[in-house]
Amino acid sequence: MRIFSGIQPTGRKHLGNYIGAITQYVAGQDRGEGIYCVVDLHAITVSYDPAGLRTAVYDTAALLLAAGLDPERCIFFRQSDVPEHTELTWLLSSVTSFGDLNRMHQFKEKSAAQRELVTAGLFTYPVLMAADVLAYRAHEVPVGDDQRQHVELMRDVAERFNARFGETLVVPQVRIPAVGARIMDLQAPERKMSTTSDSPQGLIHVTEEPAQIVRKVRAAVTDSGSEVRRGPDKPGISNLIEIMAAVRGSEPAAIEREFEGSGYGSFKQAVADAVVEYLAPVRERYGELRADEAALERALAGGAERARAIASDTLADVRAAMGVGAVRPRG
């Protein structure tokens, strides 16, 4: 079983990324062959600062290592170090439907948020994402709920490629966690927690100071009731129940039973303490790993070499199937 996922080097990663995706990457190392990538080429599709991008790649790489990715037990690399991703993006664009790209929720949201330029790269972003996964013939793609539509698109692309050019690519399955697939903003619980949120108080960074975490959870927006239970009219409390269940590795219903009658104040304090404890080991390891950029570069370079060995093999098959380039003996 081969598992692939990617994460953007944008800003500091938050509790939603950690619960929805990063913990799944770490677990994937025991379930199969994990291949994980920091997708710097996706990050350039919106306005960005070049020097800041390099730094953000190190931040994200250090965070993933601190969370438990082990370059000995998985392949961990930076997307732009493996040029096969960009070549495959172009080749796959000829089996990607323009209409499908036009229907992507993320494109609609992100293009609406751009003040100056909506780039063609933002539009074809999902094709690069398809190339990321299909280059490795991965079977499974662990992501949060917001990436579901992108994974559906890459499945269509793989199916269309195989139908048109013969069985070449693996059609991957999405893997979305049962609990914590969509962590919401603490200040605006009808919106997902996101780096681009305009309420810093609504977002918990993975490496945030414990005192800040406690403050933010205690200040989370809730309704005027007092019962700790989920409901459509209780998005704030529902989100805290979901967070608590994910952090504890239990079920939302079990959390509701445990905190029945306890009131919002003491429930929030319990959630805050649990989140602090949950993130503490990552925060402790992060500082040391982030300080050694040369070691991070070495880890990423080693991963890129192993990734290229796999991706270049797929590319040779894709080129051959499409009748592109010189005839090359295989073997």
CB of 262 to ligand TYM, least distance (A): 25
Point out which span in 70-78, 128-136, 218-226, 283-291 binds ligand TYM (CB under 6 A): 128-136
185 within 8 A of 197, measured Cβ to Cβ: yes
CB of 258 to ligand TYM, least distance (A): 23
45 within 8 A of 106, measured Cβ to Cβ: no
191 touches ligand TYM by CB under 6 A: no
CB of 145 to ligand TYM, least distance (A): 6
* Among the listed residues 26, 34, 42, 264, the single contact to ligand TYM using CB under 6 A: 42
CB of 306 to ligand TYM, least distance (A): 17
6 touches ligand TYM by CB under 6 A: yes
What phi and psi, each to the nearest 5 degrees, are found at residue 5? -150, 160
CB of 130 to ligand TYM, least distance (A): 8
Q: Which is nearer to ligand TYM, 4 or 267 (CB)?
A: 4
* Among the listed residues 11, 16, 34, 236, the single contact to ligand TYM using CB under 6 A: 16
State the distance between the two ends of the chain, measured CA to CA, in whole angstroms: 23
Q: Which is nearer to ligand TYM, 186 or 270 (CB)?
A: 186
* Among the listed residues 38, 127, 183, 220, the single contact to ligand TYM using CB under 6 A: 183
201 within 8 A of 187, measured Cβ to Cβ: yes
Point out which span in 68-76, 91-99, 191-199, 267-275 binds ligand TYM (CB under 6 A): 191-199
- Write the DSSP assignment of 130-186 as a string of letters: HHHHHTTT-SEEE--GGGHHHHHHHHHHHHHHHHHH-S-S--PEEE--SSSSSPBPS
Structure tokens at 137: 């013939």
192 touches ligand TYM by CB under 6 A: yes
Point out which span in 97-105, 129-137, 257-265, 313-321 binds ligand TYM (CB under 6 A): 129-137
Residue type, 34: G
| Cβ contacts of 213 within 8 Å, gap of 6 or more | 204, 272, 275, 276, 279
85 within 8 A of 131, measured Cβ to Cβ: yes
Residue 104 CB: number of other CB atoms within 10 A?
Answer: 19
144 touches ligand TYM by CB under 6 A: yes
Binding mask 48-87 for ligand TYM (x = CB under 6 A): ----------------------------------------
Closest residue to ligand TYM, judged by C-beta, is 20
| Cβ contacts of 292 within 8 Å, gap of 6 or more | none
CB of 328 to ligand TYM, least distance (A): 28
252 touches ligand TYM by CB under 6 A: no
129 touches ligand TYM by CB under 6 A: yes
Structure tokens at 26: 């770490």
CA–CA separation, 145 vs 126, rounded Å?
15
| Cβ contacts of 204 within 8 Å, gap of 6 or more | 14, 15, 186, 193, 213, 216, 217, 275
Query: What residues from 146 to 165 belong to the interface with ligand TYM (CB under 6 A)?
Result: 146-147, 150
Number of residues in contact with ligand TYM under rule CB under 6 A: 27
CA–CA separation, 219 vs 127, rounded Å?
40
CB of 143 to ligand TYM, least distance (A): 3
CA torsion through residues 311, 316, 318, 324, sign: positive
List contacts with ligand TYM (CB under 6 A): 4-8, 16-17, 19-21, 39, 42, 129, 132-133, 141, 143-144, 146-147, 150, 181-183, 192-194
